[in-house]
Chain A
């Protein structure tokens, strides 16, 4: 039962354009969402997060949008750069009091120069 889903396994974007990565969740009992970036043979690197009481959070080129009614999360990267090429994971934290994260399966972003 995959509670956090990233339905696009891969995405290619031209350098300078916007990259939009999507994430859907099925459980309403998440209170915190995060995006991580992962390069091969490295650990996930925290990018940006958003609390469930907000609908947008912005940090430089990265913006995360949360649509609670649709149970949908998206990460916008603009402008995209070749160094952004990596696998992006969304993660959600349940409100149940445990602090474990539920991860999606990842989207591989390739930014073309």
Chain B
């Protein structure tokens, strides 16, 4: 019973590099959500996607951040030209197609920008 998978679990980048975070939802789930947690803070919503569609990206920074959820393969959160302030834990959650009541979270990717 595989849960939400995220990789890598830890990612170190230097300023200016690109970071790619991957998320495979639970089996049967077609809704994916990305959240970011800064140190000592709660999780902040970034983007909500369904297969091949971005439904709500109101929490995404306007520049450098993008997300996709292709027909085949995992959802990807991409951060271009990373800065130190991007250092955080990035969590992906998924929910089934019918219900949106409960989102199930992956283990997260901890991004450190040097």
Using a CB–CB cutoff of 8 Å, the interface residues on chain A facing chain B are 4, 6, 32, 34, 36, 41-46, 49, 89, 91, 93, 98-106
Q: Are A46 and B91 in contact (CB under 8 A)?
A: no
Q: Are A98 and B91 in contact (CB under 8 A)?
A: no
- B95 at interface (Cβ–Cβ under 8 A)? yes
Sorting the interface of chain B by its residue count into under 10, 10 to 19, 20 to 34 or 35 or more gives 20 to 34
* A34-B102, A43-B91 known; A98 vs B56 contact (CB < 8 Å): yes
* A99-B31, A99-B95 known; A46 vs B43 contact (CB < 8 Å): no
- B11 at interface (Cβ–Cβ under 8 A)? no
Partner of A100, one of B6, B42, B45: B45
In the complex, which residues of chain B have a beta carbon less than 8 angstroms from the beta carbon of A99? 31, 33, 48, 55-56, 95, 100, 103
Can you name 18 extra interface pairs (CB under 8 A) apart from A4-B42, A98-B48, A105-B42?
Answer: A6-B42, A34-B102, A41-B108, A41-B110, A43-B6, A43-B105, A46-B103, A49-B101, A49-B102, A98-B58, A99-B55, A99-B56, A100-B33, A100-B58, A101-B33, A105-B40, A105-B41, A106-B42
Question: Can you list, as one digit per residue, whether each of B96-112 has a CB less than 8 Å from chain A (1) or not (0)?
Answer: 00001111111110100
